[in-house]
């Protein structure tokens, strides 16, 4: 279960309201895409979901509980850049989450425990199609492969929420299509709730079961910072429960 | 087809040849002037000739000293390298600990960075008398001088590097369940290790400077001690080989550190593989 409720959320910086009056109920297993122009607060909203920042007012509940004040293993994230650790190979990157959980003191597993972790990682690496590159460093991978790695790394901790911050923004169109297929498959298999920020409309409507658009509805020309953005549309989509073939057709 | 000067590059053999030219010029110039001076006055001590240099090199590096029974060059090298090694080791340990702590933990940063910024402005040579008074004239004060001299730089360099780590990586580690300690151990430390080696490489020059200064002022052996002792006798035939030897040692240390950095942190240059 991973139900997200947002209650009257406001986010203000000194002299500037970024988000105002955000109210949301997201059912477990939805694929929410956050759309909107640049600087409209969709990334800020994602940062709030991740607890990188604290809301000024209001609260966010995950399964009825207020979010903890800092990032944790219940919410996985894939950024547009710097997603994987450059000093670790693909396998080492993926087992890292298991090592943090299994070894409080060293954060590193040895012997049989490590072999079990590697075996579990292998399954996830296979799922994202990186088996052939398992001993490579991130810098040796293409952009799409790096994002696959970041997703695999995140999934191994089985987070309740998967937060994606323009994860495919830097990829070429062909690679994007492969990534849509991959993320759709993993989302379906893992029964995970996804929030994805993008400014690619087509991408949003291809992937989402719910599209949330952020925009400012009130603008004070004398004081642009006086009003923040809010959710202007909350569109549930009848997503076709079909495979990659349709995505490629889009 | 003549290309612009900025587009012409020496090939592999050319690189070696061009690199050797300044060395050859320096050596040839030395012996030309040495020969000229010796022709004028065979007892000239300023630019000793090849024969004199060879003789003193032999007596320094292979013959036992009449007074102590030791081979001077090796005994001096051993003492100096021990001081340098202890100083560098202490500075590395302290620099790493404080550098990471100030870089990673905001409360430590708030508490320590103004202090470190001020302390790093103290000229180390100015506190040398204090060190001699507090720690005595033997080994400890020299090691402490080297440590004091390079630690603030290492701390600030490492703290800066930690600050340059993308915030995304620290957030990502937290979403994988890492504690502060685990983040330091598995994310921060491995990524700044190459920078630490670079920092030590850059500190080698100052470290030698502090070592030789301390040895010049109060010591009974060591490379710096010998040079300053021989100055009284204008013994250029000893001083010049010693300077060359010190340069060689420093160069080798730098080279070894660079090799370690390449060998053990292959991910740094992973793109090119």
Q: Which CATH architecture does the domain made up of A1-74+159-250 adopt?
A: 3-Layer(aba) Sandwich (3.40)
Q: Is residue B3 part of a domain?
A: no
State whether B150 and B70 are in the same domain.
Answer: yes
Same domain, residue pair B150 and B93: yes
- Can you list the residues of chain A whose pLDDT is less than 50? 241-245, 248-250
A213 CA to chain B: closest CA distance, Å?
25
| pLDDT of res. B17 | 94
Same domain, B219 and B93: yes
**CATH number of the domain encompassing residue B260:** 1.10.3720.10
**Residue A127's closest CA among A154, A109, A102, A108?**
A154
Nearest to A73, CA basis, from A87, A62, A57, A88 = A62
Same domain? For B133 and B232 the reply is: yes
The answer to whether residue B226 is domain-embedded is yes
Tokens standing for A76? 């996985």
pLDDT digits (tens, 9 = 90+) for B78-96: 999 999 999 999 999 999 9
**pLDDT band at residue B270 under the 50/70/90 scheme:** low
Give the mean model confidence (pLDDT) for residues B228-247. 90
User: Which residues, other chains included, contact A222 with Cβ-Cβ below 8 Å and sequence gap of 6+?
Assistant: none
Quote the pLDDT of residue B182: 95
For A51, the token pair is: 């607890």
Residue B2 inside a domain? The answer is no
pLDDT for A116: 93
Between B113 and B63, the more confident residue is B113
Q: Which of the residues A100, A158, A159 would you substitute to probe the B interface, choosing the one with the greatest number of B C-beta atoms within 10 Å?
A: A100
Residue-level pLDDT at A245: 44
Strands A4-13 and A16-26: antiparallel
Residues B115 and B41 grouped into a single domain: no
Among all residues of chain B, which has the CA nearest to that of A100? B178
| Structural domain that includes position B130 | 64-266
Do B26 and B90 lie in one domain? The reply is no
- Is A69 an 8 Å CB contact of chain B? no
* Smallest Cα distance from A237 to chain B, Å: 29
State whether B222 and B247 are in the same domain.
Answer: yes
Instruction: Provide the number of structural domains found in chain B.
Output: 2
In angstroms, the separation between the Cα of residue A157 and the nearest Cα of chain B is 6
When the pLDDT of each residue in chain B is averaged and rounded to a whole number, the result is 91
Tens-place pLDDT, residues B172-216: 999 999 999 999 999 999 999 999 999 999 999 999 999 999 999
Residue A192 neighbours by CB distance under 10 Å: 21
pLDDT tens profile B104-157: 999 999 999 899 999 989 998 899 899 999 998 888 999 999 999 999 999 999
Closest CA to B225 of B102, B92, B95, B68: B68
User: In the structure encoding, which two tokens stand for residue B241, read together?
Assistant: 């080989």
Same domain, B237 and B155: yes
Contact flag A77-B175 (C-beta cutoff 8 Å): yes
Closest chain A residue to the Cα of B183, Cα to Cα: A107
In angstroms, the CA B22 to CA B42 distance is 28
- The residue whose two tokens read 């690679």 is A175
Helix orientation angle between B128-135 and B189-217, rounded to the nearest 10 degrees: 80
Give the number of other CB atoms < 10 A from CB of residue B175: 26
Spell out the domain ranges in chain A: 1-74+159-250, 86-158
Predicted TM-score (pTM) of the model is 0.84
**What count of CB pairs under 8 Å joins A to B?**
88
**Whether B252 and B225 share a structural domain:** yes
B230 and B137 in one domain?
yes
């Amino acid at each position: 279960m991973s139900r997200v409720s947002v209650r009257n959320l406001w986010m203000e910086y000194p002299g500037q309201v970024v988000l105002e009056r955000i109210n949301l109920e997201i059912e477990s297993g939805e694929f929410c895409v956050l759309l909107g122009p640049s600087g409209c607060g969709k990334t800020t909203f994602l940062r709030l979901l991740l607890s990188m920042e604290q809301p000024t007012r209001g609260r966010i509940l995950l399964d009825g509980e207020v979010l903890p004040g800092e990032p944790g293993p219940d919410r996985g994230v894939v950024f547009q850049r710097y997603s994987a650790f450059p000093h670790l190979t693909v396998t080492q990157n993926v087992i890292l989450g298991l090592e943090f959980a299994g070894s409080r003191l060293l954060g590193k597993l040895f012997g049989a425990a490590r072999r079990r972790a590697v075996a579990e990682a292998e399954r996830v690496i296979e799922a994202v199609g990186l088996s052939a590159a398992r001993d490579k460093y991130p810098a040796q991978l293409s952009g799409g492969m790096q994002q696959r790695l970041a997703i695999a790394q995140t999934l191994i901790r089985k987070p309740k929420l998967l937060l994606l911050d323009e994860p495919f923004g830097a990829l070429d169109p062909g690679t994007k299509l492969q990534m849509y297929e991959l993320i759709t498959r993993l989302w379906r298999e893992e029964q995970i709730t996804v929030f994805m920020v993008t400014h690619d409309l087509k991408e949003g409507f291809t992937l989402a079961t719910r599209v949330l658009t952020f925009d400012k509805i009130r603008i004070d020309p004398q004081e642009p910072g006086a009003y923040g953005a809010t959710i202007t549309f909350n569109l549930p989509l009848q997503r076709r429960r079909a495979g990659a073939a349709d995505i490629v057709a889009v | 087809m003549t290309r612009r000067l900025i587009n012409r590059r020496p090939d592999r053999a050319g690189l070696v040849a061009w690199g050797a030219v300044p060395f050859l010029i320096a050596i040839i110039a030395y012996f030309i002037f040495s020969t000229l001076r010796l022709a004028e006055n065979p007892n000239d001590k300023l630019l000793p000739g090849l024969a004199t240099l060879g003789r003193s090199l032999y007596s320094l590096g292979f013959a036992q000293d009449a007074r102590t029974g030791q081979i001077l060059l090796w005994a001096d090298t051993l003492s100096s390298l021990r001081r340098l090694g202890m100083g560098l080791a202490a500075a590395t340990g302290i620099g790493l600990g404080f550098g990471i702590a100030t870089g990673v933990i905001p409360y430590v940063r708030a508490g320590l960075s103004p202090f470190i910024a001020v302390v790093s402005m103290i000229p180390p040579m100015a506190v040398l008398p204090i060190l001699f008074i507090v720690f005595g004239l033997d080994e400890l004060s020299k090691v402490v001088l080297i440590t004091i001299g390079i630690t603030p730089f290492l701390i600030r360099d490492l703290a800066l590097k930690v600050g340059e780590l993308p915030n995304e990586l620290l957030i990502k580690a937290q979403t994988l369940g890492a504690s502060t300690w685990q983040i330091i151990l598995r994310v921060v430390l491995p990524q700044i290790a190459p920078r630490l080696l670079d920092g030590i490489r850059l500190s080698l020059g100052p470290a030698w400077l502090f070592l030789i200064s301390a040895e010049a002022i109060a010591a009974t052996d060591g490379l710096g001690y010998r040079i300053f002792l021989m100055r009284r006798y204008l013994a250029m035939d000893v001083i010049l080989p010693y300077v060359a030897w010190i340069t060689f040692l420093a160069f080798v240390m730098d080279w070894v550190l660079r090799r370690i950095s390449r060998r053990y942190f292959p991910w740094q240059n992973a793109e090119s593989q």
